[in-house]
A and B are shown apart, each in its own frame.
Chain A
Amino acid sequence: MSADLSPLWEVFIRSRNGLAHRHAGSLHATDAEMALAAARDLFTRRGEAASLWVVPAAAIIASDPAEAGMLFEPTGSKIYRHPTFYEVPEDVGHM
């Protein structure tokens, strides 16, 4: 049965010209061409796409959820990175 296992692909859809591609889901296909054809059939039956990407799932390097705290929490205390941290008198107008 393991001979039947075909690679997994992640599908990204650009819904309209000018927008970024967004992850839509995943599918199995033996090669890139078939992955693209399957993505078209599976995820764009109602005009959802202006463009498609398929990426081998194995090519995606993901951060470890267990390290989410270490990676992302430090920015929580760095409020000086946001514009609202700085005081500008109202008289100055929009800045």
Chain B
Amino acid sequence: MYTQALNTAEAPGAPVDAAAAARFQARIDAEQRIEPRDFMPEAYRRTLIRQISQHAHSEIVGMLPEGNWITRAPSLRRKAALLAKVQDEGGHGLYLYAAAETLGVAREALVDQLLAGVAKYSSIFNYPTLTWADIGAIGWLVDGAAIMNQIPLCRCSYGPYARAMIRICKEESFHQRQGFEIMLTLCRGTPAQKAMAQDALDRWWWPVLMMFGPPDAQSQHSQTSTRWKIKRFSNDELRQKFLDATVPQARFLGLTPPDPALAFDAETGHWRAGPIDWAEFEAVLAGNGPCNRERLEARRRAHEDGAWVRDAARAHAEKPRATKAQAA
């Protein structure tokens, strides 16, 4: 579902072959794609492994807040759509782990990092889904923000990542539309249903704006990612695009974003948001959001409970080989 600008680009590491590095940058500048077996600076490889694996972890952890409502969806239509959406998120995680593996790291190692609590994932999934309207708000806003961020990643300089993103973006637009439809249905329903939609917007609005990462002034690392054409737009640029696209949608729904300072700047044609509480963002990233512990606990439990399936599959695969060896 989403990769977050966490500003974790590597500082330049060991000295690299300057000529090779210059050739590499020239290829990037010429908009060529870098493929797994091509030369790449070690810092480029490490930055990508971190970004792609964080993105993959976000997809997998992102299944949890929505999975919470599958059994309680209000109709069969909604349940089928939510099941399909959550299944998509799992698939997106797998595409991304596969892309990360082309950089020379095993998926199992990445999963271990997540379960050990040393890998990051998008802060947004550490918020709870308290009502059915939260499922609408997630599709509309969280997936909407994810699309803003992911469309430029389809042109990322690393081929396998870009190709995974193309596949993901194709599947993602249904997610946003189904979310908006849920919100629209609630907003056209009873006053209590509309109040539930407004409450969901109130709780998700600010965390969604934080999804784009810290303000540009504080993200010194993103310059390297921009030079490598991993990142095509700055955090603030993407946040602005999202704001301009989303505020009119909220007004269509008859909902009000919880930002008294939100105003339209007629001169520039942009919506301007009030100040974002970055202390909250930092706290959630540091592991102290409302659901951080619960999410990791759920992932660990799922991994442990699935161990027998992995063991059985392996034993089954071993069997014909063992039988053949015995016969020989």
Contact = CB atoms under 8 A, between A and B. Distances in A.
B98 A1 contact: no
B87 A31 contact: no
B101 A65 contact: no
B167 interface: yes
Interface of B: 35, 37-38, 84, 87-88, 91, 94-95, 98, 101, 106-109, 112, 163-164, 167, 171, 310, 313-314, 316-317
Pick the 5 closest A-B CB pairs, nearest first.
Answer: A30-B317, A31-B317, A30-B313, A26-B98, A4-B108
Given A34-B313, A45-B87, A28 B107 contact: yes
Contacts of A45: 84, 87-88, 91, 171
Given A6-B310, A62-B37, A65-B37, 15 more contacts: A1-B109, A1-B112, A25-B164, A26-B101, A27-B98, A28-B107, A29-B313, A30-B316, A31-B313, A31-B316, A31-B317, A41-B91, A45-B87, A45-B91, A65-B38
A81 interface: no
Interface in A4-57: 4-6, 8, 25-31, 34, 41-42, 45-46
A64 interface: yes
A46 B317 CA distance: 29
9 contacts: A1-B108, A3-B314, A6-B310, A8-B101, A25-B163, A34-B313, A41-B91, A46-B171, A65-B35
A54 to B, nearest CB: 13
A27 B99 CA distance: 10
Contacts of B88: 45
A25 B95 contact: yes
Nearest to A4: B108
B87 to A, nearest CB: 7
A30 B314 contact: yes
